[in-house]
A and B are shown apart, each in its own frame.
Chain A
Amino acid sequence: MLEVKHLDAFYGAVQVLHDVNLFVGAGEIVGLVGANAAGKSSLMFTLAGLRTTHQGDVLLEGVAIDKVPAYERPARGLVLVPERRRLFPFMTVLENLEIGAYAAAARTVARQTLNEVFALLPVLADRRKQVAGSMSGGEQQMLAIGRALMAKPRVLLLDEPTEGLAPIYVKLLFDLVIDLRAKGLTVLIVEQNVHHVLHTADRAYVLENGRIVMEGQGKTLLNDERLKTAYLGL
Chain B
Amino acid sequence: MSTLTQLVLSGILIGSVYALMSIGLTLIFGVLRIVNFAHGEFLMIAMYGGWAFSNLFGLNPYVAALAIVPAMFLFGAVVYWLVISPALDKPHLVVVFATMALSIFLQNAALMAMTADLRDIPPIFNRSITIGPIFLKVELLLGFLITILCTVGLQWMIKKTYLGKAIRATVQDGEAAMLMGIPVPRIFLITFAGGSALVGLAACVMVPLFSVFPSVGLNFVLIAFVIVVLGGMGSIEGALLGGICVGVMQSLSGYYIAPAFGQMFFFVLFLLVMIFRPNGLLGQKGAAMIGMNE
Give A residues with C-beta under 8 Å from B.
Answer: 48-50, 69-75, 79-80, 82, 86-91, 95, 98-100, 102-103, 106-107, 131, 147-148, 151
Given contacts A90-B291, A90-B292, A90-B294, contact A100 B172 (CB under 8 A): no
Contact partners of B169 in chain A: CB under 8 A: 88, 91, 99
B172:A82 contact, CB within 8 angstroms:
no
User: A50-B175, A82-B176 in contact; A90/B181 too (CB < 8 A)?
Assistant: no
Quote the shortest CB–CB distance from A140 to chain B (angstroms): 12
Asked if residues B292 and A100 are in contact (CB atoms below 8 Å), the reply is no
Contacts A98-B165, A99-B165, A102-B166 given; does A88 touch B173 at CB 8 Å:
yes
Contact B179–A80 (Cβ < 8 Å): yes
Q: Closest residue of chain B to A91, judged by CB? A: B168
Which of A69, A131, A151 meets B180, CB within 8 Å?
A151
The distance in angstroms between the C-alpha atoms of A211 and B294, with both chains bound, is 46
Q: Are B173 and A70 in contact (CB under 8 A)?
A: no
Could you write out 12 A-B pairs with CB less than 8 Å apart? A70-B178, A70-B179, A71-B178, A71-B181, A82-B176, A82-B179, A87-B173, A88-B168, A88-B176, A90-B168, A91-B165, A91-B172
Tell me whether A86 and B175 are in contact in the complex, defined as CB-CB below 8 angstroms, given that A71-B182, A74-B181, A151-B181 are known contacts: yes
- Where chain B touches its partner, the secondary structure class is helix
Enumerate chain A residues within 8 angstroms of B168, measured Cβ to Cβ.
88, 90-91, 95
B183–chain A nearest beta-carbon distance, Å: 5
Q: Which residue of A lies closest to B159 (CB)?
A: A95
Chain A residues positioned under 8 Å from B162 (CB to CB): 98, 102, 107
> A89 to B180, alpha carbons, bound, how many Å?
15
Task: Check if A89 sits within 8 Å of B172, measured CB to CB.
Answer: yes
Q: Considering the chains assembled together, what is the distance between the CA atoms of A99 and B173 in angstroms?
A: 12
Interchain CB contact under 8 A, B292 and A74:
no
B182 partner, pick from A79, A102, A106, beta carbons under 8 A = A102
- Asked whether B184 is an interface residue with its Cβ less than 8 Å from the other chain, the reply is yes
What range describes how many residues of B lie at the interface? Answer: 20 to 34
Asked whether B177 is an interface residue with its Cβ less than 8 Å from the other chain, the reply is: yes
A71-B165 contact in complex given A82-B176, A91-B172, C-beta closer than 8 Å: no
CB neighbours (8 Å) of A87 from chain B are 173, 176
A95 interface neighbour in B165, B183, B294, Cβ under 8 Å: B165
Chain A residue numbers with a CB within 8 Å of B180 are: 74, 79, 99-100, 102, 147-148, 151
Residues of A within 8 A of B179 (CB): 48, 50, 70-71, 74, 79-80, 82, 86
A151 to B165, CA, bound (A): 16
Contact A99 B177 (CB under 8 A): yes
Q: Which residues of A contact B175 (CB under 8 A)?
A: 50, 82, 86
Q: Are B182 and A99 in contact (CB under 8 A)?
A: yes
Q: How long is the Cα–Cα vector from A86 to B291 in the complex, in angstroms? A: 17
Residue of A nearest to B164 (CB): A95
B172 — which chain A residues lie within 8 A by C-beta? 88-91
Interchain nearest-CB distance for B292 vs A (Å): 6
Shortest Cβ distance from A207 into chain B, in angstroms?
21
